[in-house]
Structure 1
C-alpha cells in the first residue's frame, strides 16, 4: 500500500489506483481496505473517485 501512497503524492493517480487494486485483491481480511480509509496520503485519489 505504501507504493500507492507514493504514487498518489506524486499525482500519479492511475498508478496509485492500480497498486491499490492489487493490494485489495490479496487482502482477504480487509485489513488494508480499512487502513486506507483513514490514510491522508490517498486523499487525492479518494477525491477523484468521489467526483466520478
Structure 2
C-alpha cells in the first residue's frame, strides 16, 4: 500500500541513503543529480543487490 503522506515528510534511514548512494556511484553515477536519478529508478524491493542492502535491518 503506498504511503499517502507528502513525500517531503518521509524520513529515510541514514544507512539506506548511504548504501544506495554508494551503489549509484559504483555503477557510474558521477554527480548528485545522477545519484538521485539512479535511486529514483531503483526498485523498492527489486532484484538489485544494492536495493536489498539498503532495505536490510541492521
**Same fold by TM (over 0.5)?**
no
More helix by share: 1
Q: TM-score, normalized by length of structure 1? A: 0.32
Q: TM-score, normalized by length of structure 2? A: 0.30
